[in-house]
Amino acid sequence: MDFPKINRTVVVAGIFFVIIAFKGTEPILVVPAGWPKPAYDVAKNPLTTAGVALGRQLFYDPLLSSDTTISCASCHLQATGFAHVDHQLSHGIFGRIGKRNAPGLMNLAWSTSFMWDGGVNHLDMQPINPITSPDEMNETMGNVVKKLNNSPKYRKLFNQAFGDSLVTGQKVLLSLSQFVLTLQSYNARYDRYVRKEPGADLTIQELNGHRIFRLHCNTCHTEPLFTNHGFANNGLPVDTGLMDIGRMSITQKPSDSLKFKVPTLRNIQFTFPYMHDGRFKKLLDVVNHYTNGIQSSNTLDRQLQQPIVLTHEEKIDLVAFLRTLTDRDFLFDPRFSFPRE
């Protein structure tokens, strides 16, 4: 007998949300139709206009690095899906070069782990890594908090976001998460095609690419997020200079040796170079890796043990499909760009 009551609440809440979305006042985490439930619990860190605005300021502010030269955006650029364009390994403070390629940042509310080895278990905690890494921002969390507490501008922004102007590590991390959570990409041509929007058809070439994708790639790069959030060894020959053992460095299990997190392929056209060490520049190089470059080893994924055979035309079609994952709304959304007061 409780049902009618709940329904009413849901309807009221629904209307409420429509109004909010319509007026565009408070930011919300959009869950597109057909997508799974997000892993991030926004109830614990509700998105607010002031919280997201603060996170955006912090994301673009080099104050977070020890010599105020590097911001999050130095390595995560909007125009390239928040990846580090053209750099195989990310460049940090004093031009120091990190161990890994900076991945794109999008739809992270669905991610269950972060970094290429999955060593970070929660989105909130990710920023501590670049901030404190000697090769990246080379700062301490305590000092960041101190600098922010000394800034009247930030005291005001923290007050607006949290109702208290005292800056703490927790609030810095929560507001960065709020901004990063709004970096959502679900309006690629592929999405419009899936939603059957008028005029949003894919070409015959792209459709053929989609078919090939579902045959060979979809078990790991699973639609609609284009990742299954798992870890796999996709047969990359080991870079003996870096000796990056991936997931095993976190779990210490030999069975995880050379496994890396399956990355999303959304906006993949712009997030080059590719792989954890940025070894490939072009999508065609990646496809050629899957057809001709797979290196056998104890932990090589089962599915990749059978060779993938594709004609040159099929490879071109597959790449054409991957380009339909480019979301221009996302790449040019003014809400995500450098904040100008």
Partner 1 sequence: MRCLLSAILVVVTFCGFTPQQKPGLGSVTLAIDLRFSGEPLVLGRYLCHSAHQDSLSIDVWRFYISAVEFKNNGVVRFTESNSYHLVDAELSNSQTFVIHGVPIGDYDAICFNIGTDSLTNVSGAMGGDLDPTLGMYWAWNTGYINCKIEGRSNACKTLHHAFEFHLGGYMPPNQTVRKLQLPVEHLRVVEDSTAPLRITSDLFSFFSHIRLDTTNKVMIPSRVAAQLADNFAKTFTVQ
188 binds, among ligand HEC, partner 1, none (CB under 5 to 8 A by kind): none
Q: How far is the CB of 187 from ligand HEC (least distance, A)?
A: 19
Look at the chain and count its residues: 341
**Nearest 10 degrees: Cα torsion 25, 58, 32, 112:** -140
CB 154 within 8 A of CB 299: no
Work out what residue 221 binds among partner 1, ligand HEC, none; the CB cut-off runs from 5 to 8 Å by kind.
ligand HEC
77 binds, among partner 1, ligand HEC, none (CB under 5 to 8 A by kind): none
Contacts with partner 1, 252-291, as mask; x by CB under 8 A: x---------------------------------------
Nearer to partner 1, 37 or 44 (CB): 44
Q: By rule CB under 6 A, what string of x and - marks binding of each residue 181-220 to ligand HEC?
A: -----------------------------------xx-xx
Q: Provide the token pair at 233.
A: 């060894």
Name which of partner 1, ligand HEC, none residue 45 binds, using a CB cut-off of 5 to 8 Å depending on partner kind: partner 1
Residues from 28 through 67 that contact partner 1 (CB under 8 A): 44-45
275 interacts with ligand HEC by CB under 6 A: yes
Using CB distances below 5 to 8 A depending on partner kind, what does residue 121 bind out of ligand HEC, partner 1, none? partner 1
Site track for ligand HEC across 98-137, x = CB under 6 A:
x-x-xx-x--x--x--xxx---------xx--xx----xx
- Three-state DSSP class for 233? strand
- In the list 42, 63, 85, 141, the residue contacting partner 1 (rule: CB under 8 A) is 141
Decide the pairing of beta strands 260-261 and 231-232: antiparallel
Interatomic CA distance for residues 189 and 61, integer angstroms: 33
What phi, psi does 190 have (nearest 5°)?
Answer: -55, -45
Helix then strand then coil, in percent of the chain rounded to 5, is 45, 5, 50
- Residue 172 in contact with ligand HEC, rule: CB under 6 A: no
Calpha distance 326→226 (Å, rounded): 12
| Selected binder of partner 1 within 61, 124, 244, 317 (CB under 8 A) | 124
Site membership for partner 1, residue 109 (CB under 8 A): no
DSSP string, 288-337: HIIIIIPPP-TTB-GGGGSPP---HHHHHHHHHHHHTT--HHHHT-GGGS
The tokens of 82 are what?
């928040």
Question: CA-to-CA distance for 270 and 286, rounded, in angstroms?
Answer: 14
Helical ranges in the chain per DSSP H: 3-23, 49-59, 72-75, 128-132, 141-149, 152-162, 169-181, 189-194, 204-216, 248-251, 283-288, 312-323, 328-331
- Both tokens assigned to 215: 């045959």
Report CA Rg, the chain. Answer: 21
Q: How far is the CB of 276 from partner 1 (least distance, A)?
A: 14
**Which residues here bind partner 1, judged by CB under 8 A?**
44-45, 115, 119-125, 128-129, 132, 140-142, 145, 168-171, 173-174, 177, 250, 252
**Which residues here bind ligand HEC, judged by CB under 6 A?**
59, 64, 70, 72, 74-76, 90, 92, 98, 100, 102-103, 105, 108, 111, 114-116, 126-127, 130-131, 136-137, 176, 180, 216-217, 219-221, 232, 234, 236, 260, 262-263, 265, 268, 271, 274-276, 286-287, 290, 301, 303-304, 308, 318
